[in-house]
Amino acid sequence: MADADRPQIYLISPPTMNLDLFPDRLAAVLDAAEVACLRLALATRDEDDIARAADTLRLVAHARDVPLVIERHVQMVARLGLDGVHLTDGARNIRKHRKDLGADAIIGAFCGTTRHEGMNAAEAGADYVSFGPVGATALGDGSRAEPELFQWWSEMIEVPVVAEGALTPDLVAALAPATDFFAFGDEVWRHDDPAAALKALIAAMG
């Protein structure tokens, strides 16, 4: 597969991070491969912790022209100088958030494994729709976004689609022709050398 035809890379932050160490790990990954977008997806609900992480990651990402979106926390986008929001509740409130954030903001929507929810999100004006988990995971209810969903979407819908969740090199190879983005999080960060892990996943695209 030629580089121009390859899906783009979308990085998801770890749910927890040491801000003394993680920026260097992130910088190494962003310098090792072309990344289209970075999502700040922290487990904490502490506003100050989220703001500190956002400020730190924004500096690293923007220095490399990588947009930074935040998961869920719509009201923090403008205040922290972020590029948009990743919504986790499908099509709900997309139109309202678009009105509040403006036309230039990135608004993405995670739609689980549901084609119908994805279509609603696309119709409401999402910049991308994300489906997952693609791979097997003990998290959630056991449902998975099947390859047929991505194949159908790539043939029928113009809004970009993101594959995420428990991705493996084999799944990446199988889905590469049918998805616009792969979102990698733990698949990269759990390794001692996350840049090498990302390169291996990119190589699996063919």
Please tell me the CATH code under which domain 3-203 is placed: 3.20.20.70
Segments making up each domain of the chain, as ranges: 3-203
pLDDT tens digits for 36-72? 999 999 999 999 999 999 999 999 999 999 999 999 9
Q: Which is it for strands 84-87 and 106-110: parallel, antiparallel or unpaired?
A: parallel
Which residue blocks in 90-193 are alpha helix, DSSP H? 94-101, 115-124, 147-156, 169-175, 186-189
Question: Helix, strand, coil proportions of the chain in percent (round to 5)?
Answer: 40, 15, 40
- pLDDT (tens digit per residue) in 3-46: 668 999 999 999 999 999 999 999 999 999 999 999 999 999 99
Are 122 and 129 in contact by the 8 Å Cβ rule? The answer is: yes
Residue 125's closest CA among 158, 174, 169, 168?
158
pTM given for the model: 0.96
